[in-house]
Chains A and B, each alone.
Chain A
């Protein structure tokens, strides 16, 4: 942690970066910290409680500005950063990534290849919570799943916290704001909610890195992160991509293989 603070302060004081996005102690749990001078770098922390996905801030031009900036990133965030890079949202010369590896060593990435190589060592596993709920859902039959989700969705009041928390929801105009035609109604209603979440899942196919930010952000605790996670788990092997790794041939839905398997087309 000391190393991280020092390095951050150094980067700022030397003017290597104009901003370091990291974590500081919050009331209940760590919260994002935006250091613009070496003093504030003293407040930086980085531990297992720091899972808030900071990648969400780095596509916000008004926030990061034109200069180079640094971000402290746990694995989940690193994966998001990789995906953002694949989607042409980041450029190497502007970004500097700091992380503390398992041995407590400070690591510094200046290229996406380094990040990809580092991330590759960690596999995406279901946590207890995910395993718990997903195994429950997987055990249900179709009608039960529908009931389950309708029940869950009925709590959704369309605050769009999921959208704001997701680093990959960086569209300047979201589909719910598109009104010619109005594909999905923006207000909370059973159908509008269902459509919104199905739409989210589809938009995340081949992109979601299962960081869990959306579920974490949901004020009414709908396990929406599991929808996109499950899709990721099912589609990644199907279409042969690895979340958080550069996709040479393009996104899962913008590319295809002659031998894509399917049994439902008559």
Chain B
């Protein structure tokens, strides 16, 4: 696929508080540089991350998504990441069956000690998504009757 350089992918990262969020903090304290395209949403645990949030991200114009948490056996809650892993195994195959572009979701385990891994993860994902181009396919679908629709202020 041709990589169009003028395109700045929007990427949203769902991370757990105990490993990857802390890992990203370490990236900061070690002053490692990475692309600005990724914004982090903090969760207590990957087990908390609802698959609908990933769908919503694409609907709202994200070109890529990162989901990251503790390595197996390192979960602060002992098994949240194992539950998450299963959820993602299932979710991926649903999306694949429906023809959603699963290359745009990058799952990873980043521990609190892997500051550099986080930087690499972000940079690589940004590069991959840039190569894939904007996820217009999905957004086109979203831009119909939706915008005014979502979540009225309660």
Contact = CB atoms under 8 A, between A and B. Distances in A.
A147 B137 CA distance: 10
Contacts of B137: 146
A231 interface: yes
Given A180-B154, A198-B55, A149 B90 contact: no
Interface stretch (B6-14, B37-45, B105-113): B105-113
Given A142-B96, A258-B82, A252 B90 contact: yes
A137 B82 contact: no
A258 B72 contact: yes
B92 interface: yes
Contacts, number: 130
A260 B144 contact: no
B32 interface: no
Contact of B99 (A146, A230, A231, A266): A146
B82 A260 contact: yes
Interface in A175-226: 179-185, 187, 189-192, 194-195, 197-199, 201-202, 205-206
A256 B92 contact: no
Interface in B57-92: 59, 72, 79, 82-83, 85-92
In this complex, the interface size class of chain B, counting residues with CB under 8 Å from chain A, is 35 or more
A262 B90 CA distance: 10
Given A182-B151, A252-B90, A265-B108, A230 B141 contact: no
A205 B90 CA distance: 7
B97 interface: yes
A227 interface: yes
A147 B98 contact: no
Interface string A122-162: 00000000000000010010111111111000000000000
B84 to A, nearest CB: 9
B87 A253 contact: yes
B90 A256 contact: no
Given A184-B52, A265-B107, A198 B99 contact: no
Interface centre among A194, A205, A265 (most CB of B within 10 A): A265
Interface in B107-149: 107-109, 121, 137, 141-142, 144-146, 149
22 contacts: A137-B97, A142-B101, A145-B96, A145-B99, A146-B100, A149-B98, A150-B99, A179-B151, A182-B151, A182-B152, A184-B52, A192-B149, A202-B51, A253-B87, A256-B83, A260-B82, A260-B86, A262-B89, A264-B107, A265-B88, A266-B106, A266-B109
Contact of B146 (A145, A148, A192, A238): A192
Interface of A: 137, 140, 142-150, 179-185, 187, 189-192, 194-195, 197-199, 201-202, 205-206, 227, 230-231, 234-235, 238-239, 252-258, 260-262, 264-266
Given A145-B98, A198-B55, 5 more contacts: A181-B151, A187-B145, A238-B89, A253-B90, A254-B83
A174 to B, nearest CB: 13
Shortest Cβ-Cβ A-B pairs, 7 listed: A146-B99, A145-B99, A256-B82, A189-B145, A266-B108, A265-B107, A190-B141
B119 to A, nearest CB: 13
Nearest to B97: A230
Contacts of A253: 83, 86-87, 90
Interface string B5-24: 00000000000000000000
A265 B93 CA distance: 14
B35 interface: no
B86 A256 contact: yes
Contacts of B91: 202
B92 A264 contact: yes
Contact of A256 (B55, B56, B79, B100): B79
